[in-house]
Amino acid sequence: MSLNRRQFVASSVALATTASASRLAYTATDKELDVIVIGAGLSGLESALTLEENGLRVRVLEGRNRVGGRVYSLFDVPGNPEVGGNTIANAYGRCIAAANRSGVEVVNLAPRLFGSRLGQEFFLGGERVDTRAWETHPRNPFQGEMRQKLPWTWSDAMFQKHLPFTDLENWHDPKHAKHDISVHDFLTAHGATNEMIDLGFNTNIAYGTTAYDVSLLQQAFSDYWQKVNRGAIMAFSRTGASNAPAGNTPVAQATTPGVPPGLLVGVFKGGNQRLPMAMAARLKGDLLLNQTVVAIDTTPGSASVTTADGRVHRAKAVVCSMPFSTLRNVAITPLPEPTQHKAIHTLGYIPITQFHLVAKRPFWENDGLSPGMWTDGPLGLVLPQRFGARDDEITSLTVWCRGLNGLYVDRFGVEAGKQLVLSEFARLRPASKGQLEVAATHSWTTDPFSAGDWAIFKPGQVTELRAALAKPHQRLFFCGEHTSVGSRGMEGALESAERVSLEVLTSL
Ligand SMILES: Cc1cc2nc3c(=O)[nH]c(=O)nc-3n(C[C@H](O)[C@H](O)[C@H](O)COP(=O)(O)OP(=O)(O)OC[C@H]3O[C@@H](n4cnc5c(N)ncnc54)[C@H](O)[C@@H]3O)c2cc1C
């Protein structure tokens, strides 16, 4: 099948919403190719565009039937909620620039978020807890002044009080090696009990599966990154206490009373996946979907990539944006040097599963509570999405199951998992019974093209593995959020594309 550019754009849009398999035309022969980019997420697409802008001939191979990777919008659910990358914030200069280059509008949600805050309900052991009475609640495990802290603020308070270093931008510097310990060890060293850590860190965790498997260095940098992004902390915080609605207020006009001046809680208009789709439409070379990479071979002067259908693609260099959680299933020849090999095979990834629910009737008006919830049960976090025409309209609810809870709900399988979520909802909120439908569900953990969500440095891994992680291996180069050092998430993906593009351009 041969497609012209206009057809290609149309087909990328269609592919985002359908499961149809598609293969786009080859426009360059292997002999003419300079670079093969593996992965059409933000980092792969940005690398491909930068290399093309510098005169190289590039082919992008993507395993899924859509572009965007961990940026994934549900175009068939009311409001187009996000399954992946949610919001950008003040320090996301590369994302804003990428949106400008691709003609995608950044919408600032801050006015809507601050204009109609709904708060979130707190459920513990199936019972609703009045947050005003938390300090004296019998299940409050915290001590002293920390008893005032709600579970989702406790660990941040502990980090602020006890973090042993302030040079957070250089979190990966070998001089901080002594802090490359588990968050669990850090918290217990400051008097925390297992009960406190379970409630105040492990429940609805943001990094790792439990406090045992995340390095204090990564945790500290991630918290710092949120602070750099000022109030946008709410939109991508470890509590997930965000509503992430869409609005139509341009970035420059975020002057609503009550909104911190200049605060950006940004999304890309029409759904975040519009950005990678628009970037893909700007590529000059091939973008081949449904191409699962199974092997990469490299020499000092060339490289090749083999896909599951047996086809071998050859070029002068390969840029690999695959998360290490999936790269570990790919045969790399020759093997990378031992530390990099170990990084590919052991870097951690947080388990996350989401359920997107649509309410037939706003049951929260019947029980008088906020639809948003922080629970210690299977529902994890429930985030109301406000992507409607009106600021206060709730278009869907997102259930975020993270860490051990994500692994737990995955064990049920899709259909039983949906039933679990609906019955748990009805248990906690009887008014929701019969009022909710599961419009979509996605496990990033069982998704073969992510096999987990964002990367987690386990204790000791920052010191042992980070420096070797993204080193070029002959003509094989690495990008992706897991390789970023100065930023995180979507911005980290673009940061890594900048670095890898320079590496490739200077080596060819
Ligand atoms: C639930 C969730 C919420 C998030 N919230 C935020 C947020 O609010 N703010 C923020 O900044 N970031 C957020 N992120 C993180 C952000 O989305 C990612 O860091 C970023 O999109 C990663 O981009 P990437 O290019 O590094 O990787 P990816 O997008 O994963 O791209 C890698 C590509 O490689 C492809 N691939 C994998 N294996 C193969 C194979 N064998 N063959 C061929 N192709 C393959 C994948 O399909 C994918 O397209 C969130 C992520 C998730 C999932």
Q: pLDDT in tens for each of the 508 residues of the chain?
A: 333 333 333 344 344 433 333 434 456 677 789 999 999 999 999 999 999 999 999 999 999 999 999 999 999 999 999 999 999 998 999 999 999 999 999 999 888 877 665 689 999 999 999 999 999 999 999 999 999 999 999 999 999 999 988 888 899 999 999 999 999 999 999 999 999 999 999 999 999 999 999 999 999 999 888 888 864 444 433 333 333 333 333 344 445 666 667 788 899 999 999 999 999 999 999 999 999 999 999 999 999 999 999 999 999 999 999 999 999 999 999 999 999 999 999 999 999 999 999 999 999 999 999 999 999 999 999 999 988 888 888 999 999 999 999 999 999 999 999 999 999 999 999 999 999 999 999 999 999 999 999 999 999 999 999 999 999 999 999 999 999 999 999 999 999 999 999 999 999 9
Q: Mutate which of 50, 66, 70, 324 to test ligand 1's pocket (most atoms within 8 Å of Cβ)?
A: 70
Pocket flag, ligand 1, residue 319 (CB < 6 Å): no
The residue type at 92 = Y
Predicted pLDDT of residue 22 = 42
Pocket flag, ligand 1, residue 406 (CB < 6 Å): no
What is the C-alpha R_g of the chain? 23
Pocket flag, ligand 1, residue 490 (CB < 6 Å): yes
User: In angstroms, what CA-CA distances link 196 with 126, 199, 212, 375?
Assistant: 18, 5, 14, 15
Task: Region of 449 please: left (phi>0), alpha (psi -120 to 50) or beta.
Answer: alpha
Q: How many CB atoms sit inside 10 A of residue 19's CB?
A: 8
Pocket flag, ligand 1, residue 484 (CB < 6 Å): no
Pocket flag, ligand 1, residue 480 (CB < 6 Å): yes
Round to whole Å and give the CA distance between 84 and 88.
12
Are the CB atoms for 403 and 208 separated by under 8 Å?
Answer: yes
In ligand 1, which atom is closest to the CA atom of 493?
A: 26
**What is the distance in A from the centroid of ligand 1 to the CA of 483?**
12
**What is the distance in A from the centroid of ligand 1 to the CA of 69?**
5
Predicted pLDDT of residue 116 = 62
Pocket flag, ligand 1, residue 61 (CB < 6 Å): yes
Pocket flag, ligand 1, residue 43 (CB < 6 Å): yes
CA dihedral 308, 309, 314, 317 (to 10 degrees): -20
CA dihedral 221, 224, 225, 230 (to 10 degrees): 170
Pocket flag, ligand 1, residue 481 (CB < 6 Å): yes
Enter the pTM of the model. Answer: 0.91
3-state helix, strand, coil in the chain (%, to 5): 40, 20, 40
Pocket flag, ligand 1, residue 63 (CB < 6 Å): yes
Burial bucket for residue 478 (CB in 10 Å: 0-12, 13-18, 19+): buried
Hey, whose CA ends up nearest to atom 48 of ligand 1?
Answer: 69
**What is the distance in A from the centroid of ligand 1 to the CA of 41?**
6
In ligand 1, which atom is closest to the CA atom of 86?
A: 8
What token pair was written down for 426? 């009805």
Q: Mutate which of 73, 469, 490 to test ligand 1's pocket (most atoms within 8 Å of Cβ)?
A: 490
Pocket flag, ligand 1, residue 34 (CB < 6 Å): no
Task: Region of 259 please: left (phi>0), alpha (psi -120 to 50) or beta.
Answer: beta
What token pair was written down for 39? 């992965």
Round to whole Å and give the CA distance between 372 and 33.
50
* Strand-by-strand arrangement of the 35-38 sheet: 286-288, 58-61, 35-38, 317-320, 476-478
Pocket flag, ligand 1, residue 380 (CB < 6 Å): no
Nearest to 208 by CA among 391, 456, 443, 383: 456
In ligand 1, which atom is closest to the CA atom of 291?
A: 43
Round to whole Å and give the CA distance between 305 and 334.
13
Pocket flag, ligand 1, residue 287 (CB < 6 Å): no
In ligand 1, which atom is closest to the CA atom of 40?
A: 49
Hey, whose CA ends up nearest to atom 13 of ligand 1?
Answer: 85
**What is the distance in A from the centroid of ligand 1 to the CA of 71?**
6
Pocket flag, ligand 1, residue 292 (CB < 6 Å): yes
What token pair was written down for 62? 């993507």
Predicted pLDDT of residue 245 = 35
Nearest to 240 by CA among 77, 464, 453, 48: 453
**What is the distance in A from the centroid of ligand 1 to the CA of 70?**
3
Pocket flag, ligand 1, residue 226 (CB < 6 Å): no
Q: Which element (helix H / strand E) includes 7? A: helix 5-17
